[in-house]
Structure 1
Amino acid sequence: MVIINVRVTTMDAELEFAIQSSTTGKQLFDQVVKTVGLREIWYFGLQYTDTKGFLTWLKLNKKVTAQDVKKEQTLLFKFRAKFYPEDVQEEIIQDITLRLFYLQVKDAVLSDEIYCPPETSVLLASFAMQAKYGDYNPESHKPGCLTSDRLLPQRVIGQFKLSPEEWEKRIMVWWADHKNTNREQAMVEYLKIAQDLEMYGVNDFVFYAPRLRINKRILALCMGNHELYMRRRKPDTIEVQQMKQQAKEERMQRQLEQERLTKEMTAREAAEQKQKEYEERMEKMREEMERAQRELLHAQDTIRRLEQQLAELQIAKEQLESKEDELRRLNEQLRSEREMSSEERERLEQEVRRREQQVAEMREQVDMKTQETERLQREVEEARAVQERESSRQMNTFSVKEVDLDENASENGQVATELTARGDENVPQRELERITAAEQNLSLKHKLDALTADLEAVKDKQQLTEYDLLHMENKRAGRDKYKTLRQIRGGNTKRRIDQYENM
């Protein structure tokens, strides 16, 4: 029995198998999905490049070696989505299915296989960053951190006069809006937007093909899409119902866990904010106490100088009284001794004048010291008044801070109780989520319009492609693929054919 090596590349892994020459396509396909852990197998297929260079899907009912696979040492296949769901959020059940679709659609958008308008490309890039890195954090996600990531189609980058840093800044603005969105939900939001693009789910091929093989491929795709169309409109099988129930329970559990983590993060941020406010208050109180201490030292110094001044004033007054007494005695001596000689009288008069001058100088000094003492007394009284007011205010402030801290401690205790005791009671209300989703979509439209206007100013119109012009024309006319589909399906058969031929 001949053993053949096979390499199968998924969107995020590379698998290698050894098969026999009699292995059918279904056996290989089953082996791949079993290894990947995929149960929603009806969307996927194995793709290969045939000997003519055309991409072809492996037929499951035929042997692998009987098909037009390039006969190499190792047979190469790609595990890809062959058919696409109409509504990603409603139809995709497993997370592995969601991830494979997300990676394939993202790659198709970035490689321009699916045409995407510039403003929508920025939005999709922001959801891709949320799915890859989680919540945007300004401290860890600095400018330039997305340099190694493929963010936008090369076509979009070349159409606008913006640097990579300017593109990154616009993406980060949107990324910050997706806070508390888990990775799976970010992938769902990405696909919900991508599924509205004109080329989403469209297999490109030449319609009038000279080779029978391509016609058969077109027929197989049409039959597969029709089978999925009918599957969606029939009641789910027991297996699908079980898968949906299991996926619903897992997602509900993740959502409850996400809400619990979000609540804990909110409580922690609130506690950190309270702690920061407390530290700021303590710092302010410390500064006020230091200022009060400086003022107190200044007041004490003023009091010491006042006491010293009072002592000097007292000494000066005593000296002045002594000089005045000496002057009185000299005057009395001058009046009583009438018979003294003229020389003695003149000497005595000079002594009296000198003493009078000394007394006048001392009186002037006493007056100056008295004024200085009065000024110092006023300063001391003012300092004491300020000190009393400051002490009273600090006592009031301290009592208020104690009350605030007690209230904060009570609030934090209540939050902790809610997190530990009643965290599982807050089951999300789906009605509110539906309303919020509608409002978010409306907000999203306004933001996209604003971003379109912002990019219009830096657009290089010479770089516009035929698809860009066609998209702009459809947008001006208010056309989209859903309206076109409704128009095609409306009326009788002849009208539908005419509508289709006029497209």
Structure 2
Amino acid sequence: MPWLTLKRAPKTFDVRVTTMDAEMEFSLEWKSTGRHLFDLVCRTIGLRETWYFGLQYIDKKGYTAWLKFDRKVRDQDLPHEEPVNFLFMAKFYPEAVEEELIQEITQHLFFLQVKQCILNMDIYCPPEASVLLASYAVQAKYGDYDRSVYQPGFLCNDDLLPQRVLDQYKMTPQMWEERIVGLYADHRGMTRDEAEMEYLKIAQDLEMYGVNYFHIKNKKDTDLWLGVDALGVNVYEYNNRLTPKISFPWSEIRNISFHDKRFVIKPVDKKAPDFVFFAPKLRVNKLVLELCVGNHELFMRRRKLDSMEVQQMKAQAKEEKARKQIERARLLREKQLREEAVREKEELERKLALFQDEARMANDALLRSEETADLLAEKAKIAEEEAMLLAQKAAEAEQEMNRLQVSALRSEEEKVVLEHRVRETELIALRIAEDSERRAKEAEELKEQLIKAKENEKFAKDKLIELTRNPLNDTLGSETKTEQKKETQYGYPQFNYMTGDAITNEHLRELDMRLEHELSLSMDSADNSMELLSDNDVEQLSREIEKERMEYMEKSKHLQEQLSELKKEIEVLKDEDKETQYDKLHNINVEMGETKYSTLKRIKAGTAKARVAFFEEL
């Protein structure tokens, strides 16, 4: 029986990688390196600008560390847990986000990380700038503001402002939302990636953006902060991480090294002494060196010609942006046409409703006139009957008078009585005759009113017929003569209006069908007109983009004015007792006219020797 050789399955372990908006789990072989895991994550999320990012973890002693790519994952100082947790984060920051970040996924990851740093108060952001950044974050998440969709309170579950800002002002969440929405509404038409880029362009001007801080000491044992960023190495006072005291740009640094806790930076100027500081832990110096080397490499790469890979990525990004601009312009035109069609439909429906109301009122008037005519006819009939009855009573009274006169001859004694009764009867007969004459006049008046009522009825019928024939034709005909030509061209069914006493439901349905048919053809015409833009349109689109850029510059100026107004508005609600140290430092810088870049320019002045000497005296 031949021997069977069984191959053992490689030993594996589980890892969990968390990005700013996702969580992934992988099963790695025991011998997998950090580079293997990093490339696996980048391929999974579709990231090509890998040089900005790294895998961060908490080591066995609770310190923050970055996974080394050239070593096996299991050989590094990982905690004894499974799955092993890593954070996929930006390790290095660009100097200018708009020029350097190419892919949308890169831009999105930076946006999420910077936003989280501002909300966690790792990066100081003034209150008015926090509101502006929050408005861009809302635009990136929800798109264009629509008053009919987004009701008050729709931002209550979103984390938009640092807690420091919320605590510092005596304002309710509704008041903050009102101010954020006021700026958010101005960003209409901005896509998600454009809103995120505007967020990053504002955030990169913040003093603490992209800076990694480390606690150090100089030879005088003074507690200080070392800041490592894309431009160089900065030194800060221990109670002020906002404004650096001295700075060494990467272009002035020749060599970096450390021995135990002692860290040495050699300037390019060989006459200048070494810049030496001391870290509390050896692992701090290792991390400082790692960040310095990485930032220096990116600093030098930016000042060289782009590699073929970067050139290809930029070309693809440019083509993709142009394609999206064309698609956006097409969709915008289509949206405008559809909105116009909807507005036209609403206008036609409004006019139809108005016509229906007028027809209903005319119909009601006709019914009232018919009821009045019937009532007057009934009154005339009753008056005639009463007149006949009075005439009959008058005849009977006259007969009674004659009979009494005959009876009066019989008896002289009865003569006086009879004469008295005759006078009474004559008076009664006179009153009856007067009443009969009055009733006859009333009957004549009622007949005249009946004739007038019938004339009014005829006039109401004529008015209704005129309304059914002319009003809609006049309204639609005078305002949409072009649409009547379309009806002839496309063979729309013509309206047939009634000439009877009232409008039937059948004709109203016919009118609705005509409106819907017209809207449908308008929509089809809009869709057919949405052809893909030709190559010649690209130049026109470029001119439009340039025009939009100039308009946006004006808009940015307007936005700055809004921020100034917002700052003045909320200043009265500020609780001075809750101002932090950074708020006070920022206000001092503003009063002095200092910005992040003016400060860096000022502290870089002078020789490296003078700056090293100044550091030693801190």
Normalized against structure 1, the TM-score is what?
0.83
Structure 2 CA distance for aligned equivalents of residues 492 and 203 of structure 1 = 25
- Name the counterpart of 1:456: 571
- Name the counterpart of 1:470: 585
Structure 1 CA distance for aligned equivalents of residues 332 and 365 of structure 2 = 49
Q: Are 2:126 and 2:583, in contact at CA under 8 Å, matched by a contact in 1?
A: yes
The amino acid that maps onto 2:594 is R
Q: Are 1:320 and 1:363, in contact at CA under 8 Å, matched by a contact in 2?
A: no
Greater alpha carbon shift after TM alignment, 379-388 vs 429-438: 379-388
Structure 1 CA distance for aligned equivalents of residues 203 and 602 of structure 2 = 22
Q: Could you give the per-residue CA deviations for residues 340-362 of structure 1, whole angstroms, max 9, x where no partner exists?
A: 98767847666544433321121
- Name the counterpart of 1:260: 330
Q: Could you give the per-residue CA deviations for residues 90-115 of structure 1, whole angstroms, max 9, x where no partner exists?
A: 22111221221122111111111111
- Name the counterpart of 1:297: 367
Q: Are 2:58 and 2:79, in contact at CA under 8 Å, matched by a contact in 1?
A: yes
- Written as runs of structure 1 = structure 2, the 5 A alignment for 1:284-323 is 284-311=354-381
- Written as runs of structure 1 = structure 2, the 5 A alignment for 1:378-417 is 392=466, 395-403=469-477, 404=479, 413=521, 416-417=524-525
Q: Is 1:274 the counterpart of 2:344 in the alignment? A: yes
Greater alpha carbon shift after TM alignment, 415-424 vs 434-443: 415-424
Q: Are 1:302 and 1:379, in contact at CA under 8 Å, matched by a contact in 2?
A: yes
| 1:195 corresponds to which of 183, 196, 204 | 204
Tell me the secondary structure at the aligned position of residue 284 of structure 1: helix
- Name the counterpart of 1:163: 172
How far 1:374 moved relative to its partner?
4.7
- Written as runs of structure 1 = structure 2, the 5 A alignment for 1:476-491 is 476-488=591-603
How far 1:127 moved relative to its partner?
2.5
The number of aligned residues is 501
- Name the counterpart of 1:432: 547
- Name the counterpart of 1:359: 433
Residues 380 and 487 (structure 1 numbering): CA distance in 2 closer, same or farther, change over 3 Å? Answer: farther
Tell me the secondary structure at the aligned position of residue 339 of structure 2: helix
Structure 2 CA distance for aligned equivalents of residues 423 and 459 of structure 1 = 55
Residues 390 and 418 (structure 1 numbering): CA distance in 2 closer, same or farther, change over 3 Å? Answer: closer
The amino acid that maps onto 1:454 is E
How far 1:87 moved relative to its partner?
2.2
- Name the counterpart of 1:15: 25
Q: Where in structure 2 are there 5+ consecutive unaligned residues? A: 1-9, 216-225, 227-276, 487-517
Structure 2 CA distance for aligned equivalents of residues 397 and 245 of structure 1 = 61
- Name the counterpart of 2:126: 117
Q: Are 1:6 and 1:76, in contact at CA under 8 Å, matched by a contact in 2?
A: yes
- Written as runs of structure 1 = structure 2, the 5 A alignment for 1:365-380 is 365-374=439-448
Q: Is 1:443 the counterpart of 2:579 in the alignment? A: no
Q: Are 1:263 and 1:419, in contact at CA under 8 Å, matched by a contact in 2?
A: no
Structure 2 CA distance for aligned equivalents of residues 355 and 407 of structure 1 = 78
- Name the counterpart of 1:176: 185
Q: Are 1:274 and 1:408, in contact at CA under 8 Å, matched by a contact in 2?
A: no
Residues 369 and 24 (structure 1 numbering): CA distance in 2 closer, same or farther, change over 3 Å? Answer: same
Greater alpha carbon shift after TM alignment, 192-201 vs 64-73: 64-73
- Name the counterpart of 2:244: none
The amino acid that maps onto 1:493 is T
Residues 430 and 261 (structure 1 numbering): CA distance in 2 closer, same or farther, change over 3 Å? Answer: closer
How far 1:3 moved relative to its partner?
4.9
| 1:233 corresponds to which of 282, 287, 303 | 303
The amino acid that maps onto 1:450 is E
Structure 2 CA distance for aligned equivalents of residues 97 and 52 of structure 1 = 31
Structure 2 CA distance for aligned equivalents of residues 158 and 169 of structure 1 = 17
The amino acid that maps onto 2:349 is E
Residues 65 and 359 (structure 1 numbering): CA distance in 2 closer, same or farther, change over 3 Å? Answer: closer
Q: Could you give the per-residue CA deviations for residues 105-153 of structure 1, whole angstroms, max 9, x where no partner exists?
A: 1111111111112222222223223333334444554444444432222
Structure 2 CA distance for aligned equivalents of residues 323 and 18 of structure 1 = 124
Structure 2 CA distance for aligned equivalents of residues 498 and 328 of structure 1 = 145
Structure 1 CA distance for aligned equivalents of residues 208 and 153 of structure 2 = 32
Tell me the secondary structure at the aligned position of residue 278 of structure 2: coil
Structure 1 CA distance for aligned equivalents of residues 284 and 44 of structure 2 = 31
Tell me the secondary structure at the aligned position of residue 160 of structure 2: coil
How far 1:306 moved relative to its partner?
3.6
Greater alpha carbon shift after TM alignment, 181-190 vs 460-469: 181-190
Q: Could you give the per-residue CA deviations for residues 142-166 of structure 1, whole angstroms, max 9, x where no partner exists?
A: 4444444322222122112223343
Residues 432 and 495 (structure 1 numbering): CA distance in 2 closer, same or farther, change over 3 Å? Answer: farther
- Name the counterpart of 1:84: 93
Q: Is 1:250 the counterpart of 2:324 in the alignment? A: no
Structure 2 CA distance for aligned equivalents of residues 326 and 75 of structure 1 = 126
Q: Is 1:217 the counterpart of 2:287 in the alignment? A: yes
Q: Is 1:44 the counterpart of 2:47 in the alignment? A: no
Normalized against structure 2, the TM-score is what?
0.69
Residues 213 and 348 (structure 1 numbering): CA distance in 2 closer, same or farther, change over 3 Å? Answer: closer
Q: Are 2:57 and 2:66, in contact at CA under 8 Å, matched by a contact in 1?
A: yes
The amino acid that maps onto 2:475 is K
Tell me the secondary structure at the aligned position of residue 187 of structure 2: coil
Q: Are 2:16 and 2:84, in contact at CA under 8 Å, matched by a contact in 1?
A: yes
Structure 1 CA distance for aligned equivalents of residues 476 and 303 of structure 2 = 66
Q: Is 1:103 the counterpart of 2:112 in the alignment? A: yes
Residues 141 and 496 (structure 1 numbering): CA distance in 2 closer, same or farther, change over 3 Å? Answer: farther
Structure 2 CA distance for aligned equivalents of residues 376 and 499 of structure 1 = 117
Structure 1 CA distance for aligned equivalents of residues 522 and 359 of structure 2 = 33
Structure with more helix by fraction: 1
Structure 2 CA distance for aligned equivalents of residues 2 and 334 of structure 1 = 145
The amino acid that maps onto 1:220 is E
Q: Are 1:182 and 1:258, in contact at CA under 8 Å, matched by a contact in 2?
A: no
Greater alpha carbon shift after TM alignment, 369-378 vs 432-441: 369-378
How far 1:465 moved relative to its partner?
0.7
Q: Are 1:330 and 1:352, in contact at CA under 8 Å, matched by a contact in 2?
A: no
